[in-house]
Amino acid sequence: MVNDRKERHSIWLANEDIHDADEPYLPALLEEAFLEWSAEASGMTAFRSGQYGIYGKDAKCHGSAGASESSTLAGTGIEEIVQTAVRSVLDNLAFYSMEYGEWFVAGTPIFRRHCDKLFAILVYVAPAGTQLGEGELGAQALHYRGCFYRVFERVYVKDLLLTQERSSRDSNRRDELFQAAKRLYDQIDVTSVLNEMLRSLETLYPQSEVYLYLSQDYVEGDPRIRPLVFKNTAHDIVAKAFLDGNPAKEKDRDGNTRVAIPLSGKQAAYGVLCIIISAGKRSDELDLPAFLLIADTAGSAFENAKLYEQSNLLINELRLINDMTKRLNQSLKLREIFQFATTELLTIFDADYCCVLQLNPKKDVFEVKSSNIPSMASETFSPEYGFCGMIYRTKEPLIISDYWNTRVVSSRLMDNTGSRSLIAAPIFGDGEVIGVILVTHKQQNFFSYENYKLLQVMSTHIGLAVTNASLHAEVRRMVITDNLTGLHARHYLDEQIQRRQRKDPFGSLILVDIDLFKRVNDTYGHQVGDRILIQVSRIIAGAIRQDDIAARWGGEELAIYLPGVRTEQALRVAERIRKQVAEETEPSVTVSCGVSEWTFDQEKVSVESLFYRADMALYEAKNKGRNCIIVGSST
């Protein structure tokens, strides 16, 4: 059973027959078979005395050989009698022979291997008197049929091999395309997707040139990846393919073929894949469906990688914002907030320089609060100057790609540092610009649009932190400040004296009392009395140092603590205040002062003892006629 099956498989080709579908290919087969047959039959006597011809069903001659090698039957003077024989055989499907004057002609049909369908006619022509019977011509026809089927089988096998080769090549191509698609989808990095796509195309089509034109995110350093420029779009198939969203193909004067295929995802088109195939290359390199498949796969993979990249970028931005917000909210001191913001912004944007400015509404200037540029520390700028002025007027962030070429405004920051790129954003408080952030780099086109957007978000959080710190500072100022005089409250003075007594070697206290203040109130009214208090407080504030602390001690009594000051210097300060009050108040009043000091070597150092001694000295000054200064005892 097994042997029978093997035998059937081994002879299947010998039993193959031609079919109606093979009719278009018969002329070539008939001609090739006749050449083989004539070579094998050339030794026959009839071959030397006459001429043979092979005709198809269309009554056309497809080969002739014999005694007259220099001519064919179709071109001799006996063509008419040959055609008569051919038509007779076609009509009767039987042997035909006849003498016409000086010529003898015979013809016999040749049938297919497994049916009685005629596919050729063998014709013999010789001078009259020559005899070639049905049996002899029939045997020659069978010989020819054997040659024909041998040629047919050879061509058939060749066709099978070509088909198999093509099928194998297509299978390999499909596998290569599948592997290329798999590798593309395995990539989650935009650059990796682009490199893998170009590498796969160059592997699949080594005879071609491959280029990628991107509308954005142009990758520098790879000559195969180029920016998509829209120039002369009517004659540029790359731009045309991108704008139309359809593949485009053209041939240049040298016969090279250019194919442009959009690189698209579900959301947008990102560029164009361009393949240049040189003239005369294999036809399979013009496999447009394969190009489309790779471009479609690469477009989806590119979009996925972009989305993944954007997601990671967003996650990273949210993490940065969250971390920055946490750290900003850990401090309620403006100085610390500005310094931290500067440090973080330099790190996040990999910038060369950063400058944070705050608007001082009282002075109507922008003050540099923090910067990594020493020369910019404590600088002030008009709200009309430079990029601060632009942002203050427009309330909009801005990005400058190349300051040297654009120079829309003058900027001391950009000029002094040699910076070319800048991103800047306003700091808002209650809907108004209260500050500006400037971030710069020496390289042109350094900051991206994502950097620009991120700075806007961060400036919002910095603005909230600044507002919170400012509100906290204002609340604290209100708590420690007397509303009427603007001097510190008594409890704040007590706290500060205690703190200084723990670290200073000595200090002095001046108690100031407005003489006959009750008479002022009774004479002029309490509003004038309040005005007198304010005038005296301003004189005191103008007469002391920045580190000195002035406070309203109670009623018309005011106190001044002078850290690190001994009695002699305190007396001079008190005398200056006493004289100014007498000369500058309206209505004119005088003050009495009591002065006391403490030193680290005293037996008892306390706020209470310091105030007690100053109060006793003030009481003595009142008793001595007022408008004078008395120094309290040191014990």
Look at residue 276 in the predicted model and tell me its pLDDT. 85
Q: Residue 576: its pLDDT value, please? A: 95
> Taking Cα atoms as reference points, which of 439, 233, 474, 263 lies closest to residue 353?
439
Could you tell me if 570 and 595 are in contact, meaning their C-beta atoms sit under 8 angstroms apart?
yes
Long-range contact set of residues 141-145: C-beta below 8 Å, sequence gap at least 24: 141/108, 141/109, 141/110, 143/37, 143/40, 143/41, 144/33, 144/34, 144/37, 144/54, 144/110, 144/120, 145/110, 145/111, 145/113
Looking only at the bridges linking them, the beta strands covering 557-563 and 591-599 are: unpaired
Cβ burial, residue 440 (10 Å; 0-12/13-18/19+): buried
Question: How far, in Å, CA of 23 to CA of 50, rounded?
Answer: 29
| Partners of 259 in the β-ladder | 249, 275
pLDDT of residue 60: 92
For residue 7, the model assigns a pLDDT of 46
Q: What is the pLDDT of residue 14?
A: 59
Mean pLDDT, the chain cut into blocks of 10 residues (635 residues total): 44 70 88 90 80 91 75 64 92 91 91 90 89 88 91 82 76 69 73 79 78 72 78 72 84 83 82 81 61 79 78 75 73 83 90 93 91 88 91 93 89 91 92 93 91 89 83 75 88 92 93 92 92 94 93 91 94 95 93 94 86 93 93 78
Q: What is the pLDDT of residue 333?
A: 83
Contact 420, 441 (CB under 8 A): yes
Sorted by where each starts, the structural domains of the chain and their CATH numbers stand as 11-157 (3.30.450.40), 187-308 (3.30.450.40), 331-476 (3.30.450.40), 481-631 (3.30.70.270)
CA 260/CA 275 separation, integer angstroms: 7
Rounded Cα distance, 179 and 142, in Å = 54
Per-residue confidence (pLDDT) for residue 2, from 0 to 100: 41
Q: Which tokens is 581 given? A: 């009050």
Q: Does residue 437 contact residue 455 with C-beta atoms inside 8 Å?
A: yes
Alpha carbons 104 and 78: distance in angstroms, whole number: 10
| Burial track 421-434 (b if 16+ CB lie within 10 A, e otherwise) | bbbbbbbbbeeebb
- Taking the C-alpha atoms of residue 102 and residue 128, their distance in angstroms, rounded to an integer, is 5
SS3 label, residue 591: strand
From the CB of residue 486, how many other CB atoms can be counted at a distance below 10 Å?
14
